[in-house]
Amino acid sequence: MTDSLTIIRPDDWHVHLRDGDVLRTVLPYTAKTFARAIVMPNLRPPVTTVARAKTYRDEILAALPAGADFTPLMTLYLTNATDPSDVEMGFAEGSVTAAKLYPANATTNSEHGISDIKKAYPILECMQRIGMPLLIHGEVTDSGVDIFDREAFFIDRALLPLRRDFPALKIVLEHITTEEATAYVAENGGRGTLAATVTAHHLLINRNAIFAGGIRPHYYCLPIAKREKHRQALVKAATMGEAMFFLGTDTAPHVDAAKECACGCAGIFTAPTALELYAQVFDDAGKLDKLEAFASRNGPAFYGLPVNEAQITLKKGRGEEIKPILTQDEQTITSFAPPSPLVWRVG
């Protein structure tokens, strides 16, 4: 039995750090474990220009605890009005790493997203030419499509035509949740143009968890958790250790007042125990030997970045405790509680 595991320090390829008080509260959790993170741009208002991405990066750096070793990798939120020359300039100077495509109204703060993918074609042409990754929230927004089918429909209706029109564009299908997405990425990924991130919570819960004994707002996120067979497909895909799947927590904090109400926000906050949650999944699958590839090697390889030099050690025994987090203005943020108690902790 393995009760200690040392791996290369990981990166988180999908985080919501927010701004202001919430940023200062949640950032230390991501920065203690992860060396780098792809920072989502869906602030209010969204990060739509390189100039704004730079001021947001400065705000993140100013909020880091003393001595932290953490690099935020900034992203741009694509809108119908994004200027390709701004995107190209930001990528060339290294101030933005990727751009995010939110179909308009797909999720939290996505109302300024792309309403018609054809409108984004000039930007996508530019990104394909310069080798800049496109990060996709892969759900159709047609209200006639059942919420549990929105990802699978997106692959057929939007991703296939997009990849046909831009065969060399580097695409990350973010936070995949279905058997269909794992199969599509397993078959078409691995050649440097397609990969997927997988969250810890989608590896740990299925849709029953959202309704177990009552409605559980802290298990509600988008894309929503699916049937058990989909969770199993995700576990299989992530724990293979193959290049096209890597870690992206999609940790998405909302204060409890915004989750525990008549119309609660989507988002699950996993940052305090993110790596421990993944370790639990890989351990349960008998695949701890693949955690380093998934958490620390496959992401940098896709993004063309070096792997980190530092290492991190996980220990098995008394797991990390799950507790609510208090913001500086005294609001609480509930952390994700896995269905069975954690048995891993960092350090």
Task: Give the active site residue among 11, 12, 250, 283.
Answer: 250
| Residue 266, binding choice from Zn ion, ligand DOR, none, Cβ under 5 to 8 Å by partner class | ligand DOR
Number of residues located near Zn ion, criterion CB under 5 A? 1
Residue 23 binding ligand DOR, by CB under 6 A: no
Contact 30, 17 (CB under 8 A): yes
Per the DSSP assignment, residues forming a β-bridge with 136 are 101, 173
Q: Which of 33, 48, 82, 107 binds ligand DOR (CB under 6 A)?
A: 107
The item of ligand DOR, Zn ion, none sharing an interface with residue 50, based on CB under 5 to 8 Å by kind, is none
Q: CA dist 207 to 145, 201, 210, 233, Å?
A: 17, 11, 6, 14
Q: Which residue's CB is nearer to ligand DOR, number 71 or number 109?
A: 109
Q: Phi, psi (5° rounding) for residue 254?
A: -135, 145
> Does residue 16 touch ligand DOR according to CB under 6 A?
yes
Q: Calculate the alpha carbon distances from 91 to 18, 35, 119 in Å.
A: 22, 20, 21
* CA–CA gap between residue 84 and residue 90 (Å, rounded): 10
Residue corresponding to tokens 């609480």: 332
C-alpha 79/C-alpha 289 separation (Å) is 41
**Is residue 137 at the binding interface for ligand DOR, with CB under 6 A as the rule?**
yes
Indicate the residue among 126 and 221 with the shorter CB distance to Zn ion.
Answer: 221
Tokens representing residue 142 in the block: 């047609």
Tell which positions 171-230 bind ligand DOR, by CB under 6 A.
Answer: 221-222
Per CB under 6 A, 247 contacts ligand DOR:
no
Residue by residue, DSSP assigns 282-346 as HHHTT-GGGHHIIIIIHHHHHHT-PPPS-EEEEEESSPPPP--EE-TTS-EEPPP--SS---EEE
- Collapsing DSSP to helix, strand or coil, 39 comes out as strand
Question: In the complex, what is the shortest distance from the CB of residue 261 to ligand DOR, in angstroms, rounded to a whole number?
Answer: 15
If one asks whether residue 150 binds ligand DOR (CB under 6 A), the answer comes out as no
Told to judge if 3 belongs to the known catalytic residues of this protein, a careful annotator would answer no
**Sheet containing strand 171-173, strands side by side:** 12-15, 36-39, 71-77, 98-101, 134-136, 171-173, 194-198, 245-247
Contact mark string toward Zn ion, 235..264, x via CB under 5 A: ---------------x--------------
**Partner touching 267 among ligand DOR, Zn ion, none, CB below 5 to 8 Å by kind:** ligand DOR
How many angstroms separate the CA atoms of 229 and 178, rounded?
Answer: 8
Nearer to ligand DOR, 77 or 344 (CB): 77
H or E element that contains 125: helix 121-130
Round to whole Å and give the CA distance between 121 and 72: 27
Nearer to ligand DOR, 82 or 110 (CB): 110
180 binding Zn ion? (CB under 5 A):
no
Question: Which of Zn ion, ligand DOR, none has residue 273 at its interface (CB below 5 to 8 Å by kind)?
Answer: none
Instruction: Give whichever of 239 and 251 is closer to Zn ion, judged by the CB atom.
Output: 251
252 is a site residue for ligand DOR (CB under 6 A): yes
Q: Which is nearer to ligand DOR, 267 or 319 (CB)?
A: 267
Using CB positions, name the residue nearest to Zn ion.
Answer: 250
Q: Report CA dihedral (72, 193, 198, 108) to the nearest 10 degrees.
A: 60
For the CB of residue 199, give the shortest distance to Zn ion in the complex, in Å: 9
8 binds, among ligand DOR, Zn ion, none (CB under 5 to 8 A by kind): none
Residue with tokens 């200690």: 4
**Using CB under 6 A, which of 104, 210, 266, 322 touches ligand DOR?**
266
Between residues 102 and 282, which has the closer beta carbon with respect to ligand DOR?
102
267 touches ligand DOR (CB under 6 A): yes
* Residue ranges that bind Zn ion, judged by CB under 5 A: 250
* Residue ranges that bind ligand DOR, judged by CB under 6 A: 16, 42, 107-108, 137, 221-222, 252, 266-267
The residues that are catalytic are: 250
